Amino acid sequence: MYRGRLERDLSLWVGKGLLGQETAGALLAEYDSRPASFSLGRVLMALAAVLLAAAILLVVASNWEAIPRLIRVGVILALIWVVHLAAARMLARGASAAASGLLIIGAMSFGGAISLVGQMYHLSGDEQTVMYLWFAIATISAILFRSGAVAVVAGFLSWASFAVYLENYDTHWIGFDPWMAPVMAAIVIGLVRYTGAERARHLAYLLLIGWLAWLYTLYEEIAVALAFAIGGMAAFVLTALPTRSVASLVRSAGAAPAFYSFLVAAIGFLLLHIEIEDGWPLVVLGVATLAASVLAIALHGRDNGAVRYLAYTTFAAEMLYLASVTVGSILGTSSLFLFSGLVVALVAWIVIRLERRFSANAQGERA
């Protein structure tokens, strides 16, 4: 998809005389020489590693009653050492796909080793501690081998750890453990930036959103929903600031920060609609939701397709909802749409002024 757009743009620039034909061909050849972001072989290798790791975990779960304890521990430890040494050798030879598969097996085997030792020697502890230790070992492995595959494993383990907590404590807030979900999400984001596993960042962002949604189920108050809406929009606007430090950080993280911050705001607006059902507060909320959608399109709609479509969906859903709740009065519906149109026009005017100011500042810096 991107290659097709690049080829069309290069042809357009050549046609306008902005770029030479040889330069355009060289640019396209350089892009084609890059390693593909999707490789079927890598995917199949990762799936094979997951299946083999699952087989190892199932064997461990059987407890190997007929085999002496010392031999069982020795076998699992030998397996961990063998796969990691083999992964190091594969990396040295440039076989990154095979190395990733071996590292996945190694990371999963660590969990099996922890469980095996615990069940054999009846060590004190709980599932939560096992998940923390497993996540920590996977993190260390991802850092030592700079492995994006193991970073993905760590991302899934962070989800599993949070799920274990919710199951063990019946979704209640107990002690310090609930804070581990955002802490692990931050660690996964750090691993993503270190290892280059760009897609794994979504696991961290979704974990944070799931954690925030769980917080709302604990309190179910308007203040919490309002905090989601305001905090999400504040973070979203922050991603659009032209300051060098923020802009460089956002560009390096791709489209995810803007999309997920606006998603949090949209969830906040949805929760507020659940809490507020009629009267002027509903009108104000509806206008604020429409204005937030327009602002999202104005700030990131051109370059961020995910934000653009989410904003379109939010705007359309809000208009349909407001029309449905005010359908009893044509005059009321007309007044609502008129007021909404004026507010959206005001937001558009403010955004245009800001865009002009940002553009003037950027031109001044280049000069």
Q: Is the pLDDT of residue 150 over 80?
A: yes
pLDDT per residue as tens digits for the range 178-233: 999 999 999 999 998 888 888 788 899 999 999 998 988 888 788 888 999 999 99
Calculate helix-pair angle for 222-239, 244-253, nearest 10 degrees.
Answer: 100
Top pLDDT among 40 and 80 is at 80
Q: What's the chain look like in SS3? A: CHHHHHHHHHHHHHHCCCCCHHHHHHHHHHHHHCCCCCCHHHHHHHHHHHHHHHHHHHHHHCCCCCCCHHHHHHHHHHHHHHHHHHHHHHHHHCCHHHHHHHHHHHHHHHHHHHHHHHHHHCCCCCHHHHHHHHHHHHHHHHHHHCCHHHHHHHHHHHHHHHHHHHHHCCCCCCCCHHHHHHHHHHHHHHHHHHHCCHHHHHHHHHHHHHHHHHHHHHHCCHHHHHHHHHHHHHHHHHHCCCCHHHHHHHHHHCCHHHHHHHHHHHHHHHHHHHHCCCCHHHHHHHHHHHHHHHHHHHHHCCCCHHHHHHHHHHHHHHHHHHHHHCCCCHHHHHHHHHHHHHHHHHHHHHHHHHHHHHHHHHHHHHC
Domain ranges of the chain: 234-331
Q: Could you give the residue ranges of the DSSP H alpha helices within 62-95? A: 69-93
| Mean pLDDT, the chain, whole residue set | 78
- pTM beyond 0.75, yes or no: no
pLDDT per residue as tens digits for the range 51-85: 777 776 666 656 556 666 677 777 778 888 888 88
pLDDT per residue as tens digits for the range 170-190: 888 888 889 999 999 999 999
Q: Are 293 and 347 in contact (CB under 8 A)?
A: no
